Structure 1
Amino acid sequence: MSEGKKFDGEKPRFSLIPGGVLPPVINVLEFGAKKYSEGNWRQVENARTRYFDAAHRHLDAWWNGESTDPESGEHHLAHAICCLMFLLALDEPAEKPVPICKHNWQEATASGDARRTFICSKCPSQKSVSFSEVLP
């Protein structure tokens, strides 16, 4: 039997990301999506300044011994990482348009599912909600 090949030597190695750091960041993003709306950060006035300031507030709180943000219950560093990701995304060249989908949710719940599942017919987004929640 021949040895299998995969030509990925020059591709990004996501395995270098330390384990356990992405879930709190994703939790912060989910918290923000529920509180404001998905992608809302792209439409914030003076976003660069405001997310720069917010990142520093979270870093300062963490530096001064407060690990958890009192409102979200998530780590201040996860909030700072989100702010920095927003700044990195906003730093992309202006000629590169960032699509914002006005989701067209369609239910895709299978029988026996514990939660209702919705998919957008325009983009790859999915949303899972409890049966008691109403999708906006």
Structure 2
Amino acid sequence: MDGLKYDQDKPRLDLVPPEAIIAIGHVMTYGAQKYAPDSWRGVEAHRYVAALLRHLMAYQSGESTDVESGYPHLWHVLTNAAFLVALGGDNDG
């Protein structure tokens, strides 16, 4: 018997690189241990913009790894972008 599944209008999460999801998971685990799980939800969006830019500038300057966490700056960029999306993605400053 052939089954039906109407999923053509749903996002193709299987297309998201697993490396990106794993990177965000590592940084969020680090943050949960340093602060508290889900504490990121109480931080103003502009602070994530600033952190994202600091990590991006460090990467662009040739520094691949964040000294404090030991994780790549690009992993932090992804995580900060994910926070901004989760917090609403608007530009409320």
- Give 1:92 deviation, angstroms: 6.0
Query: Residue in 2 aligned with 1:68?
Result: 65
Structure with greater strand percent = 1
- SS for the counterpart of 1:67 is coil
Query: Residue in 2 aligned with 1:36?
Result: 35
- Give 1:19 deviation, angstroms: 3.5
State the percentage of identical aligned residues: 42
Bigger CA radius of gyration: 1
- Give 1:40 deviation, angstroms: 0.9
Q: Return the TM-score normalized by structure 1.
A: 0.60
Structure with greater helix percent = 2
RMSD over aligned Cα atoms? 1.7
Query: Residue in 1 aligned with 2:48?
Result: 51
Matched, 1:11 2:16: no
Q: How does 1:1-136 map to 2 (within 5 A)?
A: 2-44=1-43, 47-91=44-88
Q: Give ranges in structure 2 of 5+ residues lacking alignment.
A: none
- Corresponding letter in the other structure for 1:18: P
CA deviation map 1:60-117 (0-9, x unaligned): 0111111111111111111111111111222268xxxxxxxxxxxxxxxxxxxxxxxx
- Corresponding letter in the other structure for 2:80: C
- SS for the counterpart of 2:46 is helix
Q: Number of matched residues? A: 90
- Give 1:36 deviation, angstroms: 0.2
- SS for the counterpart of 1:20 is helix
- SS for the counterpart of 1:81 is helix
- SS for the counterpart of 1:21 is helix
